[in-house]
Structure 1
Amino acid sequence: MQLFKSETHFNFMGRIKAAVIFSIVLILIGLGSIAVSGGLKFGIDFAGGTLIQLQFKNPPDIKVIRDGLKTIGLGESTIQEFGSKRDILIRVQRSEEKLEAVGSMVRRSLMGKFNVDEITVERVEMVGPKVGRDLREKALLSILYAIIGIVIYISWRFEVQYAIAAIIALIHDVLVTMGAFSIFDKEFTLVIVAAFLTIIGYSLNDTIVVFDRIRENLRRKGKSSMSEMINMSINQTLSRTLLTSGTTLLVVIALFFFGGEIIHDFSFALLVGVFIGTYSSIFIASVFLVYWDSRKTAHR
């Protein structure tokens, strides 16, 4: 299936400078947001704390819940709707108490404001600070191991410059997506780490398709320059790239809007990641290959 009836002839390489500037601006905005907000907003998985899910018979007033929680001294809390307006998710920083005790404390704190039979404690989850720190380290290691594996595979499958180009594109995708999470004040949890690994895999697949075509065209290079070869290769794979990304985005958009609160942040990460990954496989990865070739030519 082809999106375009004939091969396109877009001058992607002629827009490299604009693309690089655009990417740098995106990354700087994201990193600036992370710096201003004091780092990523880690969820309980990484930061430690206690999560309590309550279900009410009727949609409650969140302000009333917040006022009730102040009386039991659980520390700073975050209260939000979870799925429906009757389901409330409460996150608190403290994690010293037993699970049953926390649930009972929260329920008692709200008894004066709601009828007892109106409140059901659906679940209570707790992560200690040390466990959260360990999970954070393991999450970072999982991403690092994935990147190392990618470097080894692409260096073997192609050449080392292709591996470096792919890693630059992947780091670009991760930084932009992390920045988006900070800008939109979304929590960074283990689920989001899974989303990041998915983004890395998806973006890499797209990049390898372009790389494979570049290598194929280089074998019959003729008098064309590296920049021209890359431009031709991107145009030749453009239909496939846009079709794959477009159909994936349709699914992710559906998940984002209709998938519910549980996977909302996960689908948001994929939405940003798939879009940016498609962009980086066309522009960012190719920039390094052009740079590598120019340096190689200059040293001849």
Structure 2
Amino acid sequence: MGQRRFWISLSLFLVVASTVSLWFPGANYGTDFRGGTEVEVAFSKNVDAHQLRQAVESLGYHTPDVIQVQDFKNPNHFLVRVQEISVVDDATKEKLKAALCLTADPAAPVADEKACPANARATEVKFSPGGDKITTRYDEAPDLEKLKEQIRSVAGINLKASATNPQIINPRDNRVEIQLQSKGDQLMDGLRSKLGADTVPEQPLRVEWVGPKAGKQLRDSARNSVAIAIVFIMLYLAFRFDLRFAPGVVIACVHDAMVILGVFVLLKKEVTLSTIGAVLTIVGYSMNDTVVVYDRIRENLSKHRGKSFGDIINLSVSETLSRTILTAGATMLSVLAFFVWGTGVIRDFALAMVVGIVAGTYSSIYVAAPLTEWIDRRMGQRTGAKKRASGKRRAKAVTGKPAEAK
């Protein structure tokens, strides 16, 4: 408690700096939150990050992100992220519908019978959310070779290479599934043409895409989940202990979450759903440590009635310190194993856990407990002021004169 002013000032600085860093320079949101297409590739030969970025830009992608993944098995392991998510925009959808001879009445005459024969007139055309899959329906058995010609007639659209594409997925309804090349497929083909087939593998390790609307929903949901968790923690502590204990642990949880995000911004790490999962884990972990300290404070309040609240906090923290260090140390060892030997998402999750364990252990001692003492002192001052004011009113009612100031 004697060092609380220094540590509270440090914590306040860290939280303010972390909050500002979320806007300036800003968090590096992953595809989960920002939207776009992400391709993970393990190249067969040495590739420079600058060379790879230039190759992606030459394919027409603006401001791509090229991130080298630390992988002991393959040093040429990269993440390539572009903002584009679909090869089919609204204008292209209309062109595809026209090429597929979409009509409400297949028996109606058409201007070009050769381009739109009866077995190649779609009565229904549906596009997948990513635009890489088309489902069509016909009144009679469709001519799949003609369908291929119709699709290829639209500029910028390519069929995904496969012996079963397109294919009839429901013979009774004459329903056909047509798979188009996605942005990830087009990106891989473009890199193969720029860097060589002996450098770029046939298939990427992973391809993911998230639309901007879905990314915004995920970002809002992640923020709300952290806020709701903290609110319910405050309600639990107010019920479990006392109202004066709740604000300290809530501020400590906010402190831990902001420190983790600040470190990720400082190290230019991606903020993804895994990061939010780590933040929620640390919020619960930090609350567990704080509840242990609070429980000992409550026990010592009844044992040592002659001591001040600050002395009781010092005593309680000292009594629980060995337990806190052993628990945090054991957890840290297991998390460090993931951080040292893990790769990709696991390593980032472990990094958030490492930072969170340190921040959570620190905040249980130097943030939550001192704030509880400050709130208790403020509440005591307010109660004392109310009692003095009430005593003055009673004295005035009895003597008819205002009470003398002491």
- TM-score, normalised relative to structure 2: 0.68
1:61 correspondence with 2:51: no
In the alignment, is the contact (CA less than 8 A) between 2:244 and 2:376 conserved in 1? no
Deviations 1:151-201 (A, max 9, x none): 121111111111111101111111111111111111111000000001101
In the alignment, is the contact (CA less than 8 A) between 1:192 and 1:269 conserved in 2? yes
Q: How far apart in 1 are the matches of 2:266 and 2:316?
A: 35
3-state secondary structure, aligned to 1:268: helix
3-state secondary structure, aligned to 1:58: coil
Q: CA deviation at 1:142?
A: 1.0
1:155 correspondence with 2:238: yes
Q: CA deviation at 1:87?
A: 2.5
Q: CA deviation at 1:117?
A: 4.8
1:27 correspondence with 2:15: yes
Q: Percent identity among equivalent residues? A: 37
3-state secondary structure, aligned to 2:2: helix
Q: CA deviation at 1:114?
A: 3.2
Q: How far apart in 2 are the matches of 1:104 and 1:292?
A: 59
Structure 1 or 2, whichever has the larger Rg, is 2
- How many residues were matched structurally? 287
Matches within 5 A, 1:98-247: 98=131, 100-118=181-199, 119=201, 120-247=203-330
In the alignment, is the contact (CA less than 8 A) between 1:53 and 1:88 conserved in 2? yes
Q: How far apart in 2 are the matches of 1:262 and 1:178?
A: 16
Q: How far apart in 2 are the matches of 1:36 and 1:122?
A: 33
Higher relative contact order (CA 8 A, sep 6+): 1
Letter aligned with residue 14 of structure 1? G
Moved over 4 A (4+): none
Gaps of 5+ in 1: 1-12
1:252 to 318, 323, 335: 335
Q: How far apart in 1 are the matches of 2:64 and 2:305?
A: 65
1:40 correspondence with 2:30: no
In the alignment, is the contact (CA less than 8 A) between 2:86 and 2:183 conserved in 1? no
Counterpart in the other structure of 1:270: 353
Q: CA deviation at 1:122?
A: 2.5
Between Structure 1 and Structure 2, which shows a larger proportion of helix residues? 1
Gaps of 5+ in 2: 88-130, 133-180, 385-406
Letter aligned with residue 265 of structure 1? D
In the alignment, is the contact (CA less than 8 A) between 2:42 and 2:77 conserved in 1? yes
Counterpart in the other structure of 1:87: 77
3-state secondary structure, aligned to 1:161: coil
Q: How far apart in 2 are the matches of 1:169 and 1:25?
A: 14
In the alignment, is the contact (CA less than 8 A) between 1:71 and 1:109 conserved in 2? no
- Larger deviation, residues 225-234 vs 108-117: 108-117
Q: CA deviation at 1:58?
A: 2.5
1:52 to 39, 46, 49: 39
Deviations 1:239-265 (A, max 9, x none): 000111111122222221211223121
3-state secondary structure, aligned to 1:126: strand
